[in-house]
């Protein structure tokens, strides 16, 4: 620790006005306080390009949750093809009723881990991914084994877990597709427990999340210093469906989406690309989240 003589300000004058005290310090002392902070910030051209394009377009909707939900995709769509994003080999893969996006590794022989949270009777995209990248190990999670178990284990050749993954363990409500969607109370486990204790893979290359309203507790765990960081689990890329108004007892999804985006902006760990607004029985938003900070992920997926 520097001596008091070096770090303390030279008090030149004290101006008292009600409760305020103004201290004038030498400019060298002020610089010495700020330069170490500035020097620790890593330069990240991909994140900076994302931030510099998206931030000015969404700042006007900050704290207005309804407008943020409605306008985010429209406001940010022109940021989706920035030159800096060409560092990723991002390719579309079709599912039955949607398009997912996958960034492939630089090295063709790389073995990767793919996790599906919410199978929903559909593995078409996983099957296409398997053809495009044979060295993929698949893990599927869905609380409803009917159809899903055979699709994921027999047809795809993957590994199936009959459970719902969300924020914490216990019996909780889920919006489950059997012959049709309906509310059910099912066993949940926390995403941090699933990735750390059941999957036991320190790196998840591809994560697809379509959990019909239970995505927010999972998204809360991916931020810098969060539960997944503490367990040593890294997520390199995600496709996420973000829902609202599905579960009767769950509210505030618009604010949760708003807060998630602003936390992404603060963290400097991920970027959000390919936003897409879907009008269905319930409107929802699809996004792709790419890790641009973790050294292992960036060395594999950024050229």
Domains by residue range for the chain, with CATH? 4-39 (no CATH), 45-301 (3.40.50)
pLDDT value of residue 26: 43
pLDDT value of residue 187: 58
Among 70, 103, 100, smallest CA distance to 87 is for 103
pLDDT value of residue 155: 98
User: Is the C-alpha dihedral spanning 130, 132, 134, 140 positive or negative?
Assistant: negative
Contact 246, 216 (CB under 8 A): no
Among 70, 44, 78, smallest CA distance to 271 is for 44
- CA–CA distance, 73 with 57 (Å, rounded to integer): 11
**CA-CA-CA-CA dihedral for 62, 67, 70, 74, to nearest 10:** -60
C-alpha distance across the termini of the chain, in Å: 41
- CA–CA distance, 92 with 114 (Å, rounded to integer): 16
Among 106, 104, 102, smallest CA distance to 92 is for 102
| Mean pLDDT in order along the chain per 10 residues (303 residues) | 41 38 40 42 90 98 97 97 97 94 95 96 97 98 92 98 77 54 67 95 97 87 96 98 74 93 98 92 90 98 95
CA distances from 276 to 4, 71, 75, 210 (A): 56, 11, 11, 14
Contact 92, 132 (CB under 8 A): no
Beta-strand ranges (E) seen in the chain are 14-17, 20-23, 90-94, 99-103, 112-117, 136-141, 159-161, 164-166, 170-177, 181-190, 203-204, 206-209, 234-235, 237-242, 270-278, 284-291
8-state DSSP, 265: H
- CA–CA distance, 223 with 176 (Å, rounded to integer): 27
pLDDT value of residue 211: 84
pLDDT value of residue 35: 41
Q: Helix, strand, coil: what percent of the chain each, to 5?
A: 35, 30, 35
pLDDT value of residue 181: 55
- CA–CA distance, 233 with 200 (Å, rounded to integer): 9
pLDDT value of residue 43: 82
How much is the pTM? Answer: 0.82
Can you tell me whether residue 213 is helix, strand or coil?
coil
């Amino acid at each position: 620790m520097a001596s008091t003589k070096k770090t303390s300000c030279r008090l030149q004058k004290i101006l008292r006005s009600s409760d305020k005290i103004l201290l004038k310090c030498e400019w060298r002392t002020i610089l010495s306080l700020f330069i170490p902070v500035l020097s620790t910030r890593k330069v990240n051209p991909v994140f900076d390009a994302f931030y510099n394009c998206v931030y000015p377009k969404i700042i006007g909707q900050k704290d207005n949750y309804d407008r943020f939900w409605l306008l985010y995709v429209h406001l940010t769509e022109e940021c989706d093809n920035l030159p800096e994003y060409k560092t990723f080999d991002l390719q579309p893969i079709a599912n039955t009723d949607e398009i997912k996006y996958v960034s492939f590794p630089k090295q063709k022989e790389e073995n990767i881990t793919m996790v599906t949270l919410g199978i929903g009777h559909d593995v078409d995209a996983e099957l296409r991914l398997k053809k495009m990248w044979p060295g993929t190990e698949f893990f599927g999670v869905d609380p409803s084994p009917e159809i899903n178990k055979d699709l994921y284990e027999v047809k795809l050749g993957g590994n199936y877990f009959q459970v719902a993954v969300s924020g914490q363990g216990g019996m909780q409500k889920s919006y489950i597709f059997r012959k049709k969607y309906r509310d059910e109370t099912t066993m949940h486990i926390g995403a941090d427990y699933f990735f750390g204790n059941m999957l036991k893979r320190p790196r998840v290359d591809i994560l697809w999340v379509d959990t019909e309203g239970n995505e927010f507790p999972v998204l809360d765990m991916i931020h810098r210093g969060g539960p997944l960081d503490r367990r040593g689990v890294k997520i390199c890329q995600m496709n996420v469906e973000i829902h609202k108004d599905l579960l009767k007892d769950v509210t505030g999804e618009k604010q949760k989406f708003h807060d998630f985006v602003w936390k992404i902006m603060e963290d400097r760990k991920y970027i959000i690309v390919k936003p897409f607004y879907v009008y269905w029985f319930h409107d929802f938003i699809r996004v792709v989240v790419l890790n641009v900070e973790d050294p292992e992920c960036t060395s594999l997926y950024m050229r």
